[in-house]
Amino acid sequence: MPLPDDEHWMLSYYRTSEINGSLFFGRLARTLKPGPIQHDLTRHFADEAQHAWYWTDCLDRLGTRPIKLSDAYQDQYLEAAGLPANMMEIMAITLVFERRVINQYARHLAVPGVRVEVKETIDLIMQDEKWHVQWVRDALAGMEDRFGKDTITETLSRYKEADREVYAHTLAEHEERLSFLLRSEHEE
C-alpha cells in the first residue's frame, strides 16, 4: 500500500528535525571543554544523526525517499523562547524538547494501523530518547549549585510554555497534514 502524502511528509519532518538536532548538538559538543556534559552531548549528537538515518531507512523500506523540507520543529523555538544564554538554559530547553519528542512519537504509535516499519523505527528511537531525558535531567541537577534549583525550575517552566506555543502553532500550521495523528487522539 503506498504511503499517503501526509504520512510521507510527517516522517520526512521527523527526519529533518533529527538532522537539525544532530547538527546543533554536534556544533555544541565541538565547542565544549572535555567533561561529562561534552561526553554525553557527543553521544546525544550521534544518536540524533542515527535517528535521521533510521527515518531515511524507514522511508526507503516504505518505497519512497524523504521529502526535502526547509523547516524543523526546533526552528520555531528561538522565536518563542529566545536564545539560550548559558548551558543550563540549553539543557532546560533540550529536556523540554526531548519530552515533546517522546510524546509525539507515542502519539504516532497510537495511530490505528501504524505501519510496522514506522513502529520499528519509533521503537528504536524511543530507547535513546529515554536516555536523552535522563542524562539532561541529571546534568540540570548537577547545575543546581551554580544556578539554583528555583532558577532551573523557572527556566523549565518558561521553556515548557514556549514549547506549548510552538506545538500549538505547528498543529495549526500543518493541521491538514497532521489530521491522521489528531484523529487518533480523539479516538482514545
Is residue 188 situated within a structural domain?
no
Is residue 69 situated within a structural domain?
yes
pLDDT at site 66: 96
pLDDT at site 152: 98
For residues 185 and 60, give the distance between their C-alpha atoms in angstroms, rounded to a whole number: 28
The band of 184, judged by pLDDT with boundaries at 50, 70 and 90, is: very low
Tell me: the pLDDT tens digits for 54-67? 999 999 999 999 99
Q: Is residue 77 predicted with pLDDT exceeding 80? A: no
CA dist 116 → 37, 61, 121, 160, 187 (Å) = 35, 10, 8, 32, 20
Q: Check residue 74 and report its DSSP letter.
A: G
Residues 6+ apart with CB under 8 A from 124: 54
Average pLDDT of span 131-156: 98
Using the Cα atoms of residue 52, residue 104, residue 97 and residue 131 in order, give the sign of their dihedral: negative
Q: Is residue 24 predicted with pLDDT exceeding 60? A: yes
H helix intervals, the chain:
5-31, 36-61, 77-81, 87-109, 116-142, 144-147, 149-173, 179-187
How many structural domains does the chain have?
A: 1
Judged by average pLDDT, the poorest of 29-33, 57-61, 76-80, 81-85 is 76-80
Average pLDDT of span 175-180: 68
Q: Which domain holds residue 95?
A: 5-183
Q: Is residue 92 predicted with pLDDT exceeding 80? A: yes
The closest of 177, 65, 175, 54 to 118, measured between CA atoms, is 54
Q: Pick the residue with more confidence: 154 or 169?
A: 154
Is residue 24 situated within a structural domain?
yes
Is residue 78 situated within a structural domain?
yes
pLDDT at site 188: 42
pLDDT at site 171: 78
Q: Is residue 86 predicted with pLDDT exceeding 80? A: yes
Q: Which CATH number does the domain housing residue 40 bear?
A: 1.20.1260.10
